[in-house]
Structure 1
Amino acid sequence: MLKRSHVRQFLAVVDAGSFTQAAARVRITQPTLSVGIAEMEKLMGAKLFIRDRKHVRMTEAGAKFLPIARQLEQGFRAAESLTLEDDKRWPQVRLGLLRSLSGVMSQAAVSTLSELYDLEIVEGSAHDLRTALASGRLDAALTLLRPEDMADGAVALMSEPYVMMVPPGHALAGQTVPPAALAAEVMIARRSCERLQDTSRFFTKNGVRPRFALRSDNDDLCLRMVAAGLGITTAPLSLKIDTLQTVDIEGYDFTRTLGLCWSEDWKMSSAAAPARTRMAEVLQDAIGTFI
């Protein structure tokens, strides 16, 4: 289904004449923009742009779609204006972000929401964010969801697996291996990982007791150290940086679901319903394509 994010990305490329500049205009990374345009071309069954080293040109199909895209964007803006009065009750939003979100994902989420609200961001663990929601110190949180949350008004945005990440050219890259194959590997411990204890128990149960070269709360540092060849680590797939490769481990099937949870004020107030719906829609467009 064609989304508003697709239309905005298409128009940004047309107006900027460059994928790099277009990504900056819509506040996403260039690879994310490329993925969005590729999805759009697949949905429409036609190439929209021709790219070479110096230029981006519209195809005939792209030129035909351009006036339609501009009309669609005008329609979206008109529809937005209908809900502005409902949003005025909450011009400021206190949003919690899970500490183990990737920086790229957090950037995509905040850049879209900052166009709609005056944001105050609070970072924390899943437990920290739930405590802040319960006490009314947050309005909403982008965090881990539990099965019971869906019955309590939460909105699921994406699910992803935890995988073993290894440096480029690692002997096990791209393979599916038993846990014992990792017995001689040096590990890096992501202390922010929600599955850290489960992962430790999994490897201990399978007789794997590795040496640790680094233990850190800084996810970016951990992954960069994997890329540097210091060791290997498990992490949600969305944290993978470009140079890393993955290894599938037999029996290691942990996953996580990310979504929006609300404070009692936002959850119970019918007047807040437009703001909740709007936030869920823009975040679905912003981060729903990361996996």
Structure 2
Amino acid sequence: MIKRAHVRQFLAVVDAGSFTQAAARIRVTQPALSSGIAELEKLVGALLFIRNRRQIRLTEAGGRFLPIARDLERGFRAADDFGRDNDRRATELKLGVIRSAPGELLQAIVAALRPSFAIEIIENSESELRAMLGSGRINMALVPLRSGEHGAHVMPLYEEPLVMFVAMDHPLAARIAVGPEELAAETMIARRSCEFLDATSRFFTRHGVRPRFALRSESDERCLRMVAAGIGITTAPLSLAIDGIMPLKVMGYDFRRELGLITDPAWRVLPDVAPQLAHALQMITAIAVEWRETKVDGAA
């Protein structure tokens, strides 16, 4: 008989992409996890994962079992909540947020949701948040949307370019655009929360730019304030601009992101959720329009 532990272990490996990380996530030993997956594969009569040193990926059978496992986990969660206060449960909203989401925008979104929902915010990477959304561990995620991503559960908010920010008194502040080679002698600041961090590193390396770094930080605010202080320059989405810094286009550096809200399709249609959510999303639509006009179009 398939047990909940089997389902949790299977989903943990899918979401983490490795047995080691999955074991840490659900707090079991790796041998116990491997044993549990082996038991599950015996129960379903098929191998679920292709295992090698570099990666773990689903077999064809594993891909077919995945939506079943997601549904089973949602069912287990519903059973856990059965008999509890329905009004309290229906108003809970677990909101996943990428670390590079603008704080001011997040404040406005949460203010629109707060009258109808008891909100818990979870910060994580885009990939982790998408995994959590797929397994029902969060109800909504504020993340960069992927090309062509659409549907009733997807709400695009705004699109913006990534630019180079320099201090107001920096020699390049009067320029509109520069070639990447002109930045070879600059000291830089690394935003560790940047979704394009690896791609940005490859871009500058390709152009012979191997800078000294004055700061590496997960905090966007700290990075941008240190740009304003004049100790380095950094790339960031245009809407993250603060007083004391200027945006600068780097030729060929054409990365863009589109932020949006993705909602768990099963959660959003619950009778006690749907009407409140629809009203809140109307407010968020207006917030997104104003944000785009003032923080993106107005700053370009």
Secondary structure of 2:149's aligned partner: helix
Contact kept? 1:134, 1:264, Cα under 8 Å: no
Contact kept? 2:91, 2:273, Cα under 8 Å: no
Report Cα offsets for 1:98-130 as digits up to 9, x if no partner: 211122122121122212322111111111211
How far 1:89 sits from its partner (Å)? 7.7
Q: C-alpha separation between the residues in 1 aligned to 2:91 and 2:153?
A: 22
Contact kept? 1:136, 1:264, Cα under 8 Å: no
Compared with structure 1, are the counterparts of its residues 276 and 112 closer, same or farther at alpha carbon in structure 2 (3 Å cutoff)? closer
Match of 1:178 in 2: 179
Match of 1:149 in 2: 149
Match of 2:278 in 1: 277
Note the residue ranges of structure 1 that are not aligned, 5 or more in a row. 1-86
Q: C-alpha separation between the residues in 1 aligned to 2:151 and 2:109?
A: 24
Match of 2:223 in 1: 222
Report Cα offsets for 1:75-108 as digits up to 9, x if no partner: xxxxxxxxxxxx9983221111221112212212
Quick check: 157-166 or 122-131, which moved more?
Answer: 122-131
Q: Across the two proteins, how many residue pairs are aligned to each other?
A: 205
Give the structure-1-normalised TM-score: 0.65
Note the residue ranges of structure 2 that are not aligned, 5 or more in a row. 1-86
Q: C-alpha separation between the residues in 1 aligned to 2:114 and 2:269?
A: 24
Aligned-pair Cα RMSD in Å: 2.1
Task: Give matches, 1:243-258, under 5 Å.
Answer: 243-258=244-259
Match of 1:16 in 2: none
Give the structure-2-normalised TM-score: 0.63
Secondary structure of 2:122's aligned partner: strand
Identity of aligned residues (%): 47
How far 1:287 sits from its partner (Å)? 3.5
Contact kept? 2:91, 2:272, Cα under 8 Å: no
Task: Tell me which structure has the larger Cα radius of gyration.
Answer: 2
Contact kept? 2:178, 2:249, Cα under 8 Å: yes
Q: C-alpha separation between the residues in 1 aligned to 2:269 and 2:107?
A: 29
Contact kept? 1:168, 1:243, Cα under 8 Å: yes
Contact kept? 1:266, 1:276, Cα under 8 Å: no
Contact kept? 1:176, 1:249, Cα under 8 Å: yes
Match of 2:200 in 1: 199
Letter in 1 for 2:283: V
Are 2:249 and 1:234 aligned?
no
How far 1:203 sits from its partner (Å)? 0.7
Letter in 1 for 2:221: D
